[in-house]
Amino acid sequence: MDTATFLVQCLNAVQYGLLLFLVASGLTLIFGIMGVINLAHGSFYMMGAYLAFALAPLFGPNFLLMLLAGIVLSAAFGYLLEWAFFSFLYEREHLQQVLMTYALILVFEEARSLLIGNDVHGVPAPPWLAGTLPLGELMTYPVYRLFASAACIVVGGGLYLVVNRTRLGMMIRAGASNRDMVRGLGIDITRLYRIVFAGGVALAALAGMIAAPMSSVYPGMGGHVLIICFVVVVIGGIGSISGALVASLLVGFVDTFGKVFFAELSGIGVYLLMAVILVWRPEGLMRRGY
Residue closer to another protein, measured from CB, 213 or 284: 284
Q: Which is nearer to another protein, 6 or 262 (CB)?
A: 262
Smaller CB separation from another protein, 59 or 218 = 218
Of 30, 24, 149, the C-alpha closest to 87 is: 30
24-83: contacts with another protein (CB under 8 A): 31, 37
Measured from the CB atom, the residue of 71 and 233 that comes closer to another protein is: 233
Which one of the spans 152-160, 166-174, 195-203, 263-271 is the region binding another protein (CB under 8 A)?
Answer: 263-271
Partners of 132 in beta bridges: 142
Binding another protein by CB under 8 A: which of 98, 143, 168, 286?
A: 98
Check residue 185 for interaction with another protein (CB under 8 A): no
Q: Which residues of 226-250 are buried (b: 16+ CB within 10 A; e: fewer)?
A: bebbbbbbbbbbbbbbebbbbbbbb
Distance from C-alpha of 258 to C-alpha of 265, rounded to nearest angstrom: 8
- Look at residues 255, 21, 11 and name the one whose alpha carbon lies nearest to residue 153: 21
- Euclidean distance between CA atoms 262 and 278, whole angstroms: 22
Contact 32, 92 (CB under 8 A): no
Name residues contacting another protein, limited to 215-234 (CB under 8 A): 223, 227, 230-231, 233-234
Q: Which of 52, 56, 66, 100 binds another protein (CB under 8 A)?
A: 100
* Residue 272 in the binding site for another protein (CB under 8 A): yes
Quick check: 255 and 235 in contact, CB under 8 A? no
Half-sphere exposure of 258 (CA within 13 A, CB side): 16
**Cα–Cα distance measured from residue 7 to residue 188, given in angstroms and rounded to the nearest whole number:** 48
CB of 12 to another protein, least distance (A): 19
Q: Which positions lie near another protein, rule CB under 8 A?
A: 31, 37, 88, 94-96, 98-100, 102-107, 109-111, 113-114, 223, 227, 230-231, 233-234, 238, 264-268, 271-272, 274-275, 278-279, 282, 284
